[in-house]
Every structure is written in structure tokens, then in C-alpha cells.
Structure 1
Amino acid sequence: MTLSDQPDDLGFGIDSTATEVLAGIDLSGRFAIVTGGYSGLGLATTRALAAAGARVLVPARRTDVAREAVAGIAGVEVDELDLADLGSVRNFADRVLDAGRPIDILINNAGIMATPLTRVGEGWEAQFATNHLGHYALVNRLWPALTADGGARVVVVASGAGETPRINWDDVHFQNGYDKWAAYSQSKSANILFAAELDRLGRAAGVRALSVNPGYILTPLQRHLSKEEMVGAGWIDENGTALLPEFRAPEQGAATQVWAATSPRLADAGGGYCQACTVAKTFDGPADREAAERLWALSAELTGVDAFGKSE
């Protein structure tokens, strides 16, 4: 996908919407995959990409809910995917590859937050497994389709919680004491490091990757938090109304990930951490590089797949 002939973006920021970011950009003929693209930020992203002409595939664990959510949006398909189940990831990727469609945009948007202790797969902590390992395996299995035309972009939706990446290397799955926020922060740190390393590894094939902090948005991501917790944190009042001035609508939260996926300014860039429609930080120092490489090796070991080295 070559975006250098598209109009440049001017003046986008925290209040911009996904629709505004895509104004003047024609995505006709482009194929995008948006994990979790049927709820919250993902649904806003799906709508914006489809409105700009892209064909959008929405992988979903709850396919019936997803089909209802995207009904009436032209150019959108739904397929089954459970990111916490590596067999499901493999089966989904196989179906995509068998269809023979090159992928132009892959937005790793799905995620869970602050869940009660849950174990999946080989006893893995669910937030690390779903938010990171599932997406890691998905990208590596889809690598032939991402490189088929050259110039694909991978966007990994992180958060401010991982802005200073920290991985609990000695106990990545929290076998010795679980804290839901520490586990969430670790999974978002992994998202940032994964995007940085994927960009380093993939740029020779024309694939660029970026991570994104969408900002403060009230969406179903908060489903595991009680109203009392959110009131106590000062996020909402007793009626559920957002109190923090930083909160934005889903269409505004989706703007940065849509910008990262399509902006002509980023056609020859990647690896950075984006927020408010700008590259806010890069993770290319020695410590960041070491952590990103270590995370990649660990992820390859756990999932058994690595498009750039040993695989199952």
C-alpha cells in the first residue's frame, strides 16, 4: 500500500475524529483487518475505514454480536477469532491466507482490561495472553499476506499504562501474586515493545508498525470495573457521566489508530508510539531494543510461531 500520493494531514490532534483523519483519503481496493472491530474504538475504526472505501474484516470471539454491530456497514465481513486460543488464531489466519487477499492494514485493537485473575492456554495470565500473545501469533501467521503487496501497516493499540514499558520477566504470568492493573500495564507494555520490534524486523519487507495510545475513552473495555471503582477513581459520577476532561468520544479515540494506519506522513516511518495523531515517543534506545528483542524471543517460545526465525 502506497500512501505517499495521498493528501497530507494538517492540524489533527486529541479532538479529531477518525472520519476527519480520513477526509480526502481513498481506501478503495484496500483490505483491512480490525480485531475487536465491532465494539467501542474498534467499531468506530471499522466504520471510518469502510466509509473511506476499504474492505474490512472484523475477527470476533462473539460473531453473532459482531454481525449485529456491523450490520448495514458496506464492505465489512465478520469471522471467528478468539485471541486467547492459539488454535483459533491459527484457524483464522489459515482462512485469511487461503482466501489469497493481501492485507494492507492490520489494526490490533481488541483487548481486555483489569480482569479478575483468569488463566488461558498453558496457564497464561489472560491479559498478557489476549492483549499481546494472541496478536503476536496473529501477525506472525498472517505475515505472507502482510508482505504480499509490500507497504502494509500494522497498528497495535496500547495505552498510557504501558508508556514506560515494564515486563515482569521473572513471573510474566503472575503465578506469585496477581494485581489486575499491573497485569494490564504489562500487557500494554508488551504491545509497545512488540510494535517496535515488528517494525525493525519487517521494514525490509515494506511493513511498518506503530503502537497507539487512544487516550481516555469510556467503552466496553471497562466491563470488568464496577461503577463504584470508577466513581472512586473520579472517572464518572453516580449517573455514569464522564467527569475527567480528558475523556473523549470513541470516534475521537479511534482517530489516532486510523491516522497511524493511513497517514501519508508515516509511509516511510514506523516503530513509534502515537497519541493525539502524532508520534509522541520512539523506543529505539539500547534498553528498549534489548527488552523488545527479549519479548519477541519469549513470545516465539510461548506461541511456537516466528515469521522471522524458528517456528513450530
Structure 2
Amino acid sequence: MSTPQQSINSGFGAKTTAAEVLEGIDLTGKHVLVTGGYSGIGLETTKAVAAAGAEVLVPARRPKVAEEALDGIAGVETDELDLADLASVQAFADRRIAVGRPFDAVIDSAGVMACPETRVGPGWELQFATNHLGHFALVNRLAPLVSEGARVVSVSSGGHRRSAIRWDDPHFERGYDRWEAYGQSKTANVLFAVHLDRLAQDRGIRAFALHPGGILTPLQRHVSREDQVELGWIDADGNPVADWFKTPEQGAATQTWAAFSPQLDGKGGVYLQDCDVAEVGEGGVAEYAVDPDEAERLWALSAELTGVDGFGR
């Protein structure tokens, strides 16, 4: 498979922070949506983007919690959104369309990881529903507000290598594995960016997916301390032991770089990590996650499930 997944030698790396990738970039007048923008790497993204002059909209399932976390950051607005509830997604999109202000970047940073088996809506598995289908519906419903020249950034994970799309059982109705379910949802995040970029680039809109790196944040809420010790993440006292962990500021860098770096002008539909384009293969992106046929097939399934296809042809 020919692929644009080749390093561009950006000059940044695993230890780069979100503020560093924005040095010299003025975002004054830009309007940016950051899902999950009040916790973990989403919060650090919001801080960096707002500090560079952008106005940031942070949708949140718990708006009061978001308001407290974002208190004191200038240029930030919150609104209510539950990605696992398509009615909530539609209501949020309808409110924003009524406001009418376009977005210069949409950063899909919210997510859930390795949760107990949970069903939402018509029986959908929660991680696929939240991490992928909710964001799919959100971006497609907001299509009229995604500006020419905008970027849509889908926060995936190296965990995508745990599972391709399970076409015969995407909602794990025949046996649930929380890590496989997480992996499938993260593969879906990559495939979403691949096909969105194909559909939207003639409007000047480009899409990217990325692995932010390993960061200890509230994303791990469903992974017990005992499990984290067994995985080699922390010691018995809760201290990080893996030398590859990033700080939240470093973890926010790649998605911030994806959304605004001029180094990515003219590019799209690729998977990034450590502020560079990842290679296909071990340590990079799995071939199935950037397969355009898989991406098109997932788009069709997602449009069927959500009833939304704002970028479709």
C-alpha cells in the first residue's frame, strides 16, 4: 500500500510541549472547539491555544466541572454535550449553528478508556459510541460551521494496534474485552480522519489523527492501581515508573501541532505521533488503520448508525 505516512522531520519530538509548538503562531481571531478540553491533555490544549490568542469552545458532559477547571483562562466558553447521547450531540450542534460562528479547528480530544462493559443508545458499546460515533456525528452535524482552511483533529492512541474494526461484531455482543474495545475505537478515530480528509479537502478542510503518547491523566479512571502496577505504569505507591510517560503539557503537543502547524500545510489524512508523521509498522501506525477502503467502509457504517453524513457525497 502506498502511503503518505513518512516523517517530515519536524524538529519537534516526544518532549515538546503544546506551548512550544505554538511559539511564533498568533491565533488571535481563531475559533477552536476542543472536546474534553477541561481535563488531562484536553485542558492543556485549551490553555495553550487560548494563550496564543484563540477563543475556545469546550463542550462538556458536566459543564459546571468544566467551568471550574477552566476558571481564569481568558477566551474560553463552555456548553453542554454528551458524546454518548446522539440527541445531546444534535442539540449541541443546533445551538452552535444558531450562533453561526465558524470553527477554524475542531480537536476531538474527549474519550473513555478500558471501561467496564456499558451499553448506550440502541445497545452500542460505550467506547465505540463515545470515542468514535459521538465525534463522527458531532463533526458531521457541525459541517456547515467548519471553515475553509480548517483542520479536524482526531485524538487516537497507539492502543489502536490492539484491534482493527470488528466488522462482524463492532459492539462486542459476543463477548466483551475492554482493551480490544478501546483499541477498535481508536482505530476508528484514525479511519475517520483518513476518510474525512478525502471528502473535505476540496473545501480546504484537512483532517489528522494522532497518538498523543502515554500520559497519566483522568483517562485512566477505569484502570485500577493494581492493573496499572501490573501493566508497568506505576509502582505500588502510585509513582510513574515507565520512562516513556509524558507530562500533560507534552501529551497535548501533537494535537496542538496537528491543528495549527504550518509544517502540515497541504497535508492531511495521516496519523501523527511525537509531533511528526508516523511511519507504518511496529511503533507507528497499523496498516489497517490507514487503509482507505477500511476508512470508506467505516464511514458508511457510521453514517448508517448515526443518521448523519454532513460531508458525504
TM-score range relative to shorter protein: over 0.9
1:47 aligns to what?
47
CA–CA separation in structure 1 for the residues paired with 2:215 and 2:46: 17
2:88 aligns to what?
88
Residue 280 and residue 10 in structure 1: after superposition, are their counterparts in 2 closer, same or farther (change >3 A)? closer
1:99-155 alpha-carbon deviations (Å, 9 max, x no partner): 1111001000000000000000110000000000000000000000003xx100000
2:264 aligns to what?
266
8 Å Cα contact 1:165/1:193 also seen in 2? no
Residue correspondence of structure 1 range 1-312 to structure 2 within 5 A: 11-147=11-147, 150-163=148-161, 166-281=164-279, 288-309=291-312
Structure 1 residue 289, shift from structure 2 partner:
1.2
Instruction: Give the unaligned 5+ runs of structure 2.
Output: 1-8
CA–CA separation in structure 1 for the residues paired with 2:33 and 2:102: 11
8 Å Cα contact 2:34/2:42 also seen in 1? yes
Structure 1 residue 285, shift from structure 2 partner:
7.9
Structure 1 residue 163, shift from structure 2 partner:
4.4
Structure 1 residue 309, shift from structure 2 partner:
3.8
Root-mean-square deviation (CA, aligned residues, Å) is 1.8
CA–CA separation in structure 1 for the residues paired with 2:232 and 2:131: 26
8 Å Cα contact 2:199/2:312 also seen in 1? no
Residue 285 and residue 251 in structure 1: after superposition, are their counterparts in 2 closer, same or farther (change >3 A)? closer
Structure 1 residue 11, shift from structure 2 partner:
2.2
Counterpart residue type for residue 133 of structure 2: L
1:70-110 alpha-carbon deviations (Å, 9 max, x no partner): 00000001100000000000011111111111100100000
Q: Tell me the TM-score normalised to structure 1 length.
A: 0.93
Counterpart residue type for residue 175 of structure 2: G
8 Å Cα contact 1:208/1:271 also seen in 2? yes
Residue 180 and residue 60 in structure 1: after superposition, are their counterparts in 2 closer, same or farther (change >3 A)? same
Residue 164 and residue 179 in structure 1: after superposition, are their counterparts in 2 closer, same or farther (change >3 A)? closer
Aligned with 1:12: secondary structure?
coil
CA–CA separation in structure 2 for the residues paired with 1:281 and 1:271: 13
Paired-residue identity, %: 62
Task: Give the number of aligned pairs.
Answer: 301
Counterpart residue type for residue 112 of structure 2: I
8 Å Cα contact 2:150/2:204 also seen in 1? yes
1:3 aligns to what?
none
1:5 aligns to what?
none
Aligned with 1:152: secondary structure?
strand
8 Å Cα contact 1:59/1:80 also seen in 2? yes
Structure 1 residue 284, shift from structure 2 partner:
12
8 Å Cα contact 1:197/1:296 also seen in 2? yes
- Higher alpha-carbon deviation: 262-271 or 156-165: 156-165
- Higher alpha-carbon deviation: 252-261 or 159-168: 159-168
CA–CA separation in structure 2 for the residues paired with 1:281 and 1:250: 24
8 Å Cα contact 2:131/2:186 also seen in 1? yes
Instruction: Give the unaligned 5+ runs of structure 1.
Output: 1-8
Structure 1 residue 191, shift from structure 2 partner:
0.2
Residue 67 and residue 248 in structure 1: after superposition, are their counterparts in 2 closer, same or farther (change >3 A)? same
- Higher alpha-carbon deviation: 256-265 or 162-171: 162-171
8 Å Cα contact 2:162/2:179 also seen in 1? no
